[in-house]
Each structure stands twice: as structure tokens, then as C-alpha cells.
Structure 1
Amino acid sequence: MKNIWLYSVRSYLKLGMFFYFKRIDIHSIENVPKNKPVLFLANHQNALLDALIIAVYNKRFLYFLTRAGVFKSSIVGKVLKSLQMLPVYRIRDGWNNLSNNGAIFNTCAKLFSKNETVVIFPEGNHNLKRTVRPLSKGFTRIIFETFEKYPETDLQLIPVGLNFKNAEKFPDSVALFYGKPLQAKDFILENKNESVLKLREKVHEEISKLTTHIPSESYEETLKRLNDLNVDFLKPNSVNKTISSNFKFHENFKKSSFSVLKPFFKTLLILLLIVPYVIWKLLVKPKIKEVEFISTFRFAISITLVPVWVLIMMFVLVSSFSLAIASTYLVLVLCIALITVKT
């Protein structure tokens, strides 16, 4: 029953992402082992959408370490836990709550002993900046506890790179890169502090290859030059090569041609979905305090209120006119949505 629920949710989210993103590129999915315990370690730019993308475009059902703050509502908490999300506490959640992380880390170790998979964002927080921030020690603690309790576990570490064209805008494009597996046991040394340092350095290095990594000391200047060159942020290897060569190397990218019809179709789509649009524009978006959550809430509206509105409109049209007119409305919405998003 649990797998049926997870399959259903994943299929629905995948359909939603098809209509939400212009492009979704998945690279090196073959690097994910089928029957081994895996700890996915990903960069974190786009709030909850990062986790959903990894969950949807993966061969396996995953457990996620998620900040405890989103579990405050009992209803939301139950839904998140049904989706295999585990609350992890930070200092801002209160010193008393930090002790609860011990039980979560023990749960992760037990999951690995059963060849399950866990996703963690080792940067510890999200940020739209195109750089891989210093990694926290939390993920290393999970690894050490796993080997202390289950020393024979063949734990695989897979770095993950998430790349967005422009995470704040709609429609956006995303490229997901799975790195080659690292053998966790190779990083277990006699000196624990040395092991932690080695792990953090290696994982940071590998994630930085899979997403754009702009050095913090020259971030604004470098980002401006990259934007002026119109680089393709869905190709992190090329972008990082441009940065490391001090812009001596760069691919030439053509700017996307402007379609005079696209604003027309976008306006038409807004009119067809006017109520969800107004709710998003006037009620939801103004209350979002962190820019990283804009895409997450916009996507949430698109997979909840939009379908409800379409169903209501179809019911009204069937009741007032005919099934043929209601069906025409549905086809029109789908076609206009595809034209707006995919072109």
C-alpha cells in the first residue's frame, strides 16, 4: 500500500513538472546503484523543489532529511512523513531540540543497513547563489554512526548537482546531474577529525563539478560576466571551465529568439486560470519572505489550485452547456499551457 501511494505521488508530481518546466535534463542516472545503500549529497538552491526533483527523477524511493520547521502543522507533518521525509533540527529550532537529531541519525543508519537510500543537503540551508557553500558536519556523523552500528554496510555516497536556468522565473529549466559513487568506507580513518575533513573536502569538490561553482570572493563580477556571455547554466562543466580559465574559454550561445506570440499565449493562459493566478499573485506570493521559496509555492499552486479550478470550470460548463464544450475548454487549457511553457 505504501509503494502504491509513493508511486502515485511520484507520477502526479512528474506530470506537474512536465507542465511546469520548459526542460528537464537528467544526466548519469545509471550511476545510482539498484541494490545498495546510498546517501545522496546535493547542492541546495531551490527550497523544497530540489527534493521533489531528485525524488521524481530517480530509480528508487528515497528518504529525505528535511528541516524540522516545515513539520509544525500536524497535517503537513503527516503528509511529509508519508512521503518519507524525516525532520532534522538546527540551532535556530532551539538547543533542546538538537538532541532529537540523534534518533533521526540512528534511523538513517538502520535504513542503510536495509539497503535503503537517504538524501541530504549538506550545505545546511538553501540559497539561489550559483556556488557550493561550505558543508556542515551532519552528513559525516550519519556516515560514522552507520559504520559504528553496521560495520559491514556497503554505503555509497553519490554527489548530486542541481542546475536551474533561472529559479525565480516561470517557466524555468533544470538539469540534474548524478555523480559517480564514492565508497564511504574509504573515508573512515583512525583519526576521526581527519576523516571528517577529508569527507567534506571530497564531497564539496565532487558537487562543485556537477553545478556552477562561482568563487565567493568574486561572485558578483563573475556572475555578471557569465550572464553577459549568455552561458548555459544547464551545462555546469562548460560554465566552470569558463570560470577556471578566467574567461579565455567559453562556448558561444545564441540568445533565445523572442516570439511575439508568447506574451499573447501567456495572457490567454492567465485568463483561463484567472482565479488560481489571482490567488498566487495577490495572496500567496506577497507573503513569501525567502526568494528561494518562490518556485516551490508557485509549483504547489500549479499542482493543487490549478487542477481544482479546471475541474470546477468543466463542471460549470457541463452543467450550463455540454460535455463537448467542457472538453474543449480542457483541451484548450492544456494546449495553451504547453505552448506557454515549452516554447
Structure 2
Amino acid sequence: MKKIWLYSVRMYLRLGMFFYFKKVLVHGINNIPKDKPVLLLGNHQNALLDPLLIAVYANRFSFFLTRAAVFKKTLISKILKSLQMLPVYRIRDGWHSLTNNNAIFETCSKLLYQNEAIVIFPEGNHNLERRVRPLSKGFTRIVFDTLEKYPNIDLQLVPIGFNYQDALNFPDSTSLIFGKPIAAKEFISKNRHDNVNALKEAVYSELKKLTTHIPQEHYEDVLNKLKALHVDFLKPKEVNKCIESGFISCNKKETSKVSGLKSIFKLLLIINLIVPYTIWKLAVQSKITELEFVSTFRFVIAITLVPFWVLIISVVLLLNFGWFVG
């Protein structure tokens, strides 16, 4: 039953993403081992959409470390846990709650020993900035605790680069790039402190190759130049090369020749979905305080209110004009 539930949710989310995204590109999916324990480590730009993309497009079901605050309500907690989400506690949840992470990390080690996959966003927070932020130590603790408890485990770490063309806009396009797996055993030595730093640096270095990385210094200036050059942010390797070359070696994104027609279709879509669109604009979007959540709430509206609205319209048409029109 659990597999049926997970497959059903995945299929529904995939259908939602088919309509939500203009384009979803997935590269390097075969870099995820199917028969080994795996930690999937991604940069974190776009709140809930990042883990949802992994859940939909990865080649195996994963467990997700999720901030504990969303588990407070009993019903929501049961739903999240049924979707293989595990609560992880942060300082903002209270110092006393941090000890709960011991049990969570132990659970992660057991899951990895059972050849499961776990998703972690090692930056520790989300931000729309196009750069990889310094990594926290949380994922390294899971790695080395697991290696100590199960010395023979062949734990693999797969870095993931999330790339969005324009996360605040709709429809958006995205590319998911799975990097080459890193064998955790390669970072074992006598000094755990050195191991932690070496592992963090290795993952950080790989993530910078899989997504656009604009150094924090002169960030806005560099970003504006890239936008002016119309680079394709779905191709981070090319964008990073553009930055490194001092904006000399830059490839422009292919522009659509039917932009006017697309605007007409978008207007027709809004008219057809006027009720959920109005709810989104007036009741939801205006109350979002963190830009990272704009796409998340828009997608939630798209997969909840929109289907209900379309169903209502279909029933009304059916009752008044017959089955064919409905």
C-alpha cells in the first residue's frame, strides 16, 4: 500500500509539473546508484519545489529531512511522514529541541544501512540568489556517524544542481543536474575534523559546477550583466564560463518567435481560471513575505484549487449543454 500511495502522489505531482513548468530538463539521472545507500545533496533556491522535483524526477523514492516546524499539526504530520519526510530541528525551534536530532540522525543511519536514499539540502536554508552558500555540518554528521556504525557500508553522495530560469515568473523552466557520485569512504582518516572540512569542500566544489555560482562580492552587478546578455540559466556550465571569462565567452538563450501568441494564450488561461487566479493574486501572493515561497504557493494553488475549479466548470457545462460540451 505504501508503494501505491507514493506512486500515486508522484504521478499527480508530475502531472502538475507538466502544466506548471514550460520545460523541465533532467541531466545525469543515471548518476544515482539504484542498489546502494545514497545521500542526495542539492543547493536550495526554491523552497518546496526543490524537494518536489527530486521526488518526481529521481529514479528512486527518497526520504527527506524537513524542518520540524511543519510537523506541529497531527494530521499534517501524519501526511508528511507517509511521504517519507523526517523532521529535523533547528535553533529557531528552541535549544532544547536540538537533542531530538540525535534520534533523527540515528534513523538516517539505519535507513542508509538498508540501502535507502535520503535528500538533504546542506546549505541549511533556501535563497533565490544564484550562488552556492556555505554548507552546514549536519550532513557530514550523518555521513561519519553512519560510517562509524556500519564500517562496510558503501555510502554514495550525489550532488544536485537546481537551476531556474526565473523562479518568480510563470510559466518557469528548470533544469536538474545530478553530478557524479562521491564515495564517502574516501574521506575517512584519523582526524574527523579534517574529514568534515574535506567532505564539505568536495561537495561545495561539485555543487558550484552544477548550478550558476555568482560570488557574493559584486553579486547584483554580475547578475544584471548576465540578464542583459540573456544567458540561459538552465545551462550553468555555460553561465559560469561566461562569468569566469569576464562576460566575453557568453551564449545567449534562444528567444521565442511567438511571444505575442503566448501572451494571448496566457490571457485566455487566466480568464478560464479566473477564480483560482483571483484567490492567488488577492488572498495568497500579497501575503507572502519571503520571495522563495512565491513559486511554492503558486504551485500549491495550481494542484489544488485549479483542478477543483476545472471540475466545477465541467459539471456546469455538462448539466447545461450535455456530455460532449462538458
Shorter chain as denominator, the TM-score bin is: over 0.9
One-letter identity of the residue aligned with 1:142: I
Residue in 2 that maps onto 1:329: none
The one-character-per-residue Cα deviations of 1:221-245 (angstroms, maximum 9, x if unpaired) are 1111111111100000001111112
1:149 paired residue number: 149
Equivalent residue, structure 1, for 2:66: 66
Residue 54 of structure 2 is matched in structure 1 by: 54
Whole-Å separation in 2 of the counterparts to 1:246 and 1:321? 62
**Structure 1 position 260, deviation (Å):** 2.2
| Residue equivalent to 2:23 | 23
Of residues 127-136 and 79-88 in structure 1, the stretch that sits farther from structure 2 once superposed is 79-88
C-alpha distance in 1 between matches for 2:238 and 2:321: 55
1:294 is matched with 294
In structure 2, distance between residues paired with 1:302 and 1:318: 23
Q: Which residue of 1 aligns with 2:8?
A: 8
Match of 2:170 in 1: 170
Q: Secondary structure at the match of 1:152?
A: coil
Displacement, 1:190?
A: 0.8
Unaligned runs of 5+ in 1: 327-343
CA distance in 2, matches of 1:323, 1:297: 33
Q: Secondary structure at the match of 2:282?
A: helix
- 2:55 counterpart letter in structure 1: A
| Counterparts of residues 213-292 of structure 1 (less than 5 Å) | 213-257=213-257, 259-292=259-292
Indicate conservation of the 8 Å contact 2:232/2:252, yes or no: no
Q: Which residue identity is paired with 2:166?
A: N
| Structure 2 partner of 1:340 | none
State the TM-score, normalizing by the size of structure 1.
Answer: 0.93
Cα distance between partner residues in 1 of 2:72 and 2:321:
45
Task: Provide Cα deviations, 1:64-115, integer angstroms capped at 9, x if missing partner.
Answer: 0011122222222211111101111111111111111111100100000000
Q: How far apart, in 2, do the equivalents of 1:72 and 1:170 lie? A: 31
Between the aligned partners of 1:41 and 1:20, the Cα distance in structure 2 is 24
Q: Is 2:159–2:179's contact at 8 Å kept on the other side of the alignment?
A: yes
Residue 156 of structure 1 aligns to which amino acid in structure 2? Answer: Q
Tell me, in whole angstroms, the C-alpha distance in 2 between the residues paired with 1:286 and 1:253: 31
- Counterpart residue identity of residue 200, structure 1: K
Give the superposed CA RMSD.
Answer: 1.1
Instruction: For residues 232-284 of structure 1, give each alpha carbon's deviation from its aligned partner in whole angstroms, at most 9, with x where no partner exists.
Output: 00000001111112223112444434522222222211121111111111111
Instruction: Write the mapping of 1:53-202 to structure 2, written as runs, cut at 5 A.
Output: 53-202=53-202
Partner Cα separation in structure 1 for residue 288 and residue 233 of structure 2: 25
Aligned residues: 326
| Structure 2 contact 31–179 (Cα < 8 Å) conserved | yes
Residue 183 of structure 1 aligns with an amino acid whose one-letter code is: A
Q: Give the whole-Å Cα distance in 2 for the aligned partners of 1:52 and 1:276.
A: 22
Task: Give the percent of matched residue pairs that are identical in Structure 1 and Structure 2.
Answer: 62
Give unmatched runs, 5+ long, in structure 2: none
1:109-164 deviations in Å (ceiling 9; x for gaps): 00000000000000000000000000000000000111121111110000000000
Of the structure 1 ranges 69-78 and 299-308, higher mean CA displacement relative to structure 2 is found in 69-78
Counterpart in 2 of 1:339? Answer: none
Say which SS state the counterpart of residue 24 (structure 1) adopts.
strand
Query: What code does the residue aligned with 2:310 have?
Result: V
